[in-house]
Chains A and B, each alone.
Chain A
Amino acid sequence: MDLPMMDRRGFLAAGGGLCVGLSLGGGRASAQGFRAARGLSLGEVDTFLAVAADGRVTLYSGKVDLGTGVRTALMQIAAEELDLPMSRVSVVQGDTLLTPDQGATISSVSISRGGVEVRRAAATARAALLAAAAREWSVPVEGLATLDGEVRAPDGRALDYGKLVGGRTFMLKVDPKVKVKDPASYRLVGRSVPRVELPAMVTGQFEFMHDVRVPGMLHARVVRPPAMRGRLGEVDDSAARRIPGFVATVRVRDFLAVVARDEWAAIRAARALRAQWARWEGLPDQSQLWASVRASPILRDDVTQNVGNAPLMLQKATRVLRSTFDFAIHTHGSIGPSCAIAQWEDGRLTCWSASQQTHELRRQLADMFALGADQVRCLYVEGSGCYGRNGHEDAAADAALIAREIGRPVRVQWSREDEHVWDPKGPPTLIDYVAGLDERGQVTAWTAEAWIPQGQSVSRATLVAAELGGLPTDASHPGSVQQHLAIQYGFPNIRSVAHRLAHTPFRPSWIRTPGRMQNTFGNEVFVDELAQAAGVDPIAFRLRHLSDARAAEVLGRVAKLAQWVPHEATRPVLQAGRRTGRGVSYVKYELVRTYVAVVAEVEVDVDSGAVRVTRVHVAHDCGQVINPDGLRNQIEGCVIQTASRTMVEELRFDRSTVTSRDWASYPIMRFPDVPDVTIDIIDRPGEPPWGAGEPTAAVIPSAISNAIHDAIGVRMRSVPFTPSKVKAALRAAREAGTRG
């Protein structure tokens, strides 16, 4: 056996960090004395895998499980490629000291990128194990096989992985061309392996971020300004000081917090604190929101699609169709408000949080406190479901700032109001569409023009504590919200432009399917309008403009699943009573991956304007399926969460601050209203695996809008589709005396 004699600790040290007292399990006692490794190379097998002497394998993943089942799926991939029972694999995720920076856990790429990186590393490791055994036995490698964590020879000899590499490293580059397993021989991938966390979750043994405690830890609450930008005046903490358990008031410029020995004392002390805040009324008048978005200064225009000469062809069109779409501001609404713990030792900061981007958070915290990145360690601990950049990173910054001020480890638990008001928001989105038709109803030109926040390639949000405390922080960039301001339909002339705005009312952030949901909403309703104008069935119309076999297959499969009856998309405006309707929508995610087609069914009560989404049919093709039940779980979640966002959610605010402060003032869909979901999964074992955490969400608002049109003959172009908006649309349609 001639694998180099170096253990993982040595590997990390060689990578630039000397990890004194480091426990490789990422245990909490291990935070002492670290010097963080400089970036772990994605090109090294040891970055991803460590084989212990007992043959157990630890998988180091920069992609984290946000409640999506990614941990289980990555374990399946690694165990499959290594020919190992899953019970011998464990996962360390999102620890900036131990796991590689595979980018934030966003955009449904944990499997398509993260999983494929793990697969190649595991396949390279398996090849090395085979070669090591061949040398050990002096036999040709060709005859050897791997099974159940052992290399086996034809003569019956076997060596387990622990004996071959146990405790040492591979010191091997990941072979990008490594031969991975033939899907036909899969035992784990493609099977509905149960989520590994569930037994602990249903018995109360699972440790969430909110359950983490560190020795000597105190509890803090941040006292937030009554306006989104608050200058702090005088603070009177005399009443707070009388609360038993009170420890300290912390003030850093406009950042204010109280610290106590126990959590309830911290809450009481925060309530007892008297602070004077300057008035601030810089938010737009919500009733004029869309006018103010349209009037915002534009920093730059991004042309997101340009085919032929759409402006010219619009001028020549026989008929021109125009529609404007808007999509309300949303909050993430994680059920558990953000929570974090921070601890300083010898000028080094350790921070536990449920951040989906621990490596980025490490950089942000290092900037905030003027530290080197190797002086900050961020560890991921699972929190309440996370659908984008919510308050986790802000809670981490709160805890870090308070802990620095008082010199003790501090836990910060956000209140429900903190989360609703202070998480960064899904920005308001406004899109104008214009299409030109010729005399036969053929589409000759399509243009889209969107008003969305400015952004850069790195998705990040300003840290509130840094902003209030007057410390360095970044501007907010809400991620790729321009995506899907481009269409797959083969119209001869297309032009789409994103106006990137200088201001947006709240810190803009990404929430599940950011921008792609809003843009697909406009695209797919407007396509339905064009189908209606052409007098063609909406599925047939889409197929006519798509030349992509997989697109045709998902649309065909959803039509079958929903027992779709082809019809023209023209509907009379309903005058009274109730009617059901069905609407279709389709997307190829980011135009390069996962295909989804859905049919939504609704029931509309014209008198009250109430819409109930009764069922959604989904046909889904994300290539190779790792875990079919996990995939269904993600698809169901996409449908239900997005039905909620589409039907009921809208952040309310006055000129100073958010007035949607809890679940009463920002309701989400409840059990009785949740639609049924039927799913047809198209598995393609020979294709690369793509993601499923977002694509289905992209098509839900448009499918519901199209279904409402099918039911009552009006187009809903403003999310959420509240009863009052439905009634207003009906009124307008009747007054115009037109059809939808």
Chain B
Amino acid sequence: MRALCWMGAGELAVRQVPDPELRNGHDAIVRVRRSAACGADLSLLAGRGPAVGEVLGHEFVGEVVEVGPEVRRHRVGDRVVVCSSVSCGSCWYCRRELHSCCDNGSTDPEAGEATWGHPVAGCFGQPRAQGGFAGSHAEYVRVPYADVGAFAVPEPVSDDRALFASDAAPAGWMGADLGGVRPGDVVAVWGAGAVGQVAARAARLLGAERVVVVDRHPDRLRAAERHAGAETLDYRRVDVAAELRDRSGGRGPDVCVDAGGAADGARSLGDRLTGAPPRPAAVREAVHACRKGGSVVVLGAHPAVVDRFPLGMVTAKGLTVRGARQHGPRYIPMLLDRMARDELRTEYLATHHLPLDRAPEAYTPLRTRAPGCLRPSSTPLPPPPPPPHPPTTTPPLRQPR
């Protein structure tokens, strides 16, 4: 099959790679209908982590073409959206809906232990420490634990809308949920990318009185006003702290969500030369702005170590700081329901549509922050090729090696 491969620092190419195979009884093979490019991949592209030839992409919607013998909830032909992270559904963490903390979501748990002290959930299209599963900018994807991570898309929900139930929507919703947004709250969201857009919309749907989105891209801010019902602040033009104080009666926002993701790690030349860790500008601003006793939620892929974190402020103001990669399966069924009811319309987040053969271009508007860009999406060229294998069941694959 064809797939978008990482070929070296900053180098991408569409190449012929072997078709995926069922490797475990809980696997399914999904034929990709849409796959979105995510800003979190930019640091991968820049050249740390992947091996040459690894397939990128982790947000996708598609059609089941093959299932393993242990799969119960899906059948060949089902249209499904697949959670970007891979979790088992049956460990202590998964049973408490902390799916991104899954103990069994990686094929190389020792790599996770070496990096984070513990194994964490896997993710498609990431290096081995994060699972070791090929990505979704491809014609087909192997989906481990398909009963846990794949969700049937209700009929009225389009591919372009459902696509975002894979990653951006559960991550954004989780921001509002972990922050404990309640009716009457003032909520501030840093970052008007796809995750921030959904975090803002989620805060509105959970009853927030005011939602203020902070970013520097006018087109993204306009989208947050139009689609999420948020007020906006361009941090290049206004004093964000003063504005947030004014808009919350001097209290500060009840909940602050950092949805800036990897972009937050921008570093000055001086810091790069001295090797100083990046400074978490948005989180720092959020900790300063938040009301006493409020919550600061940190989302997304951050550098492992940051500098100049206002720790004293956390204790002095009695803040709750929470973070997570997305616990997708906790939210995706609810999000698909809301999508089916038109409460959550996410198709506007797909701003560029490309055939798979042009997928290498998908990351350019993300990298350059091109005006109007939220999430480029790619689709394997029609007409759909036949399944890689005839739909079949195979004997259980137990106890390998």
A and B are partners in one complex rather than unrelated chains:
no
A-side residues, CB < 8 A to B, are none
B-side residues, CB < 8 A to A, are none
